């Protein structure tokens, strides 16, 4: 059993390499990677035995990138292909699997070796359950979002860098225009503290209550989907269809705790909820619950914390 790792996001590629290396070591097998950018040797330091490089990979387009991964699969002959489930990777993984005529398990949250088989974990039923899945095809393509695994410490190792020689296809989809999206101030995926707003907030201006407490505790501000997608008060939300977060502290304010929201916060270390309804689902999954009105609790908390600070 051997591995090939690819992500156009180098940091994510290194995280996947860390996990592939751990599994390969258990089976005394090999890890290969398809590298992008300069310094392919760093992939070796991060756990790869063999690194494939290819010139001509420019801005992402699924056809040339997919063709490059397929070519790397043909060269490395792995039994398992790990792909980073970025927005692009989620399109790339099934493209590669279908080109190879093999199985694909997209957006998994974990992987282990069980009885000599690769078994993945995936959230199902809107995030309320975790399914264990395995594939019968060789190779199998599996994608993982960022931060499922830790990257290894970069150490000098011996490994081979091999240049793939091939002509990449002209993409059939042409980009006619690029417009920059306004950058969001919050980087929720890597935030270590998040305070989040739900429909318990009655007006956009009231979000200042969150901003005040966020400033004191050094938090990023998140929200539920209705606050963002329906009301347009913020540009990104937390949950199964939004950002999946992994902070050490998540404070849900006026959030009911539906499975779609909880699926995005389940990896938080500590969840605190503030909700006036004692029966709200969010209290059931919280480490600390405050049954109360956000308009009273947040100013009181902010005052107490600023006095301590």
Ligand X SMILES: Cc1cc2nc3c(=O)[nH]c(=O)nc-3n(C[C@H](O)[C@H](O)[C@H](O)COP(=O)(O)OP(=O)(O)OC[C@H]3O[C@@H](n4cnc5c(N)ncnc54)[C@H](O)[C@@H]3O)c2cc1C
Interface residues with ligand X (CB under 6 A) are: 198-200, 224-227, 237-242, 254-256, 258, 260-261, 264, 274-277, 280, 293-295
- Please identify the residue of the shown chain whose CB is closest to the bound ligand X: 239
CA 301 distance to own-chain centroid: 31
Interatomic CA distance for residues 46 and 75, integer angstroms: 20
DSSP-H helix ranges across 56-166: 62-76, 87-100
* Residue (50 or 225) nearer to ligand X, CB: 225
Interatomic CA distance for residues 3 and 1, integer angstroms: 7
* Residue (26 or 208) nearer to ligand X, CB: 208
Task: Give me the least distance between CB of 234 and ligand X, in Å please.
Answer: 11
* Residue (19 or 243) nearer to ligand X, CB: 243
Task: Give me the least distance between CB of 210 and ligand X, in Å please.
Answer: 12
- Eight-class DSSP state of 161: E
Judge residue 238's burial from the number of C-beta atoms within 10 Å of its C-beta, 0-12 exposed, 13-18 middle, 19 or more buried.
Answer: buried
* Residue (22 or 206) nearer to ligand X, CB: 206
* Residue (103 or 292) nearer to ligand X, CB: 292
Task: Give whole-number Cα distances, 212 to 209, 225, 302, in Å.
Answer: 5, 22, 7
Task: Give me the least distance between CB of 30 and ligand X, in Å please.
Answer: 38
Task: Give me the least distance between CB of 109 and ligand X, in Å please.
Answer: 15
* Residue (15 or 256) nearer to ligand X, CB: 256
Task: Give me the least distance between CB of 305 and ligand X, in Å please.
Answer: 18
Task: Give me the least distance between CB of 260 and ligand X, in Å please.
Answer: 3
Q: At what angle do helices 87-100 and 62-76 cross, to 10 degrees?
A: 50
Task: Give me the least distance between CB of 125 and ligand X, in Å please.
Answer: 12
* Residue (57 or 245) nearer to ligand X, CB: 245
Residue pair 188/244 in contact (Cβ under 8 Å)? The answer is: no
Interatomic CA distance for residues 289 and 237, integer angstroms: 22
* Region for residue 47 given its phi and psi (left: phi exceeds 0; alpha: psi -120 to 50; beta: otherwise): left
Residue 266: half-sphere exposure toward Cβ, Cα within 13 Å: 17
């Amino acid at each position: 059993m051997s591995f090939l790792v690819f992500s156009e996001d180098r940091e994510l590629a290194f995280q996947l390499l860390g996990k592939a290396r751990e599994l390969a070591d258990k089976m005394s097998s090999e890890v290969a990677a398809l590298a992008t950018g300069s310094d392919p040797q760093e992939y070796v330091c991060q756990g790869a035995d063999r690194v494939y490089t290819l010139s001509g990979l420019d801005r992402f387009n699924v056809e040339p990138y997919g063709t490059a991964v397929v070519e790397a699969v043909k060269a490395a002959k792995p039994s398992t292909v790990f792909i980073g489930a970025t927005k692009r990777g989620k399109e790339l993984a099934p493209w590669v699997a279908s080109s190879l005529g093999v199985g694909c398990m997209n957006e998994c949250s974990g992987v282990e070796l069980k009885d000599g088989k690769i078994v993945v974990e995936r959230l199902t039923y809107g995030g309320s359950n975790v399914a264990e899945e395995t594939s019968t095809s060789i190779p199998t393509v599996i994608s993982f979002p960022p931060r499922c695994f830790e990257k290894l410490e970069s150490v000098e190792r011996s490994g081979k860098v091999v240049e793939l020689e091939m002509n990449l296809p002209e993409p059939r989809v042409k980009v006619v225009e690029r417009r920059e999206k306004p950058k969001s101030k919050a980087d929720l995926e890597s935030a270590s503290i998040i305070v989040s707003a739900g429909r318990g907030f009655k007006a956009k201006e009231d979000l200042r209550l969150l901003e005040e407490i966020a400033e004191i505790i050094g938090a990023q501000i998140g929200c539920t989907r209705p606050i963002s997608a329906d009301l347009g008060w913020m540009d990104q939300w937390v949950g199964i269809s939004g950002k999946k977060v992994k902070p050490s502290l998540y404070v849900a304010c006026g959030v009911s705790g539906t499975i779609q929201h909880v699926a995005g916060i389940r990896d938080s270390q500590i969840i605190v909820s503030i909700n006036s309804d004692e029966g709200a689902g969010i209290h059931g999954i919280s480490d600390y619950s405050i049954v109360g009105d956000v308009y009273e609790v947040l100013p009181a908390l902010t005052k107490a914390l600023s006095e301590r600070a």
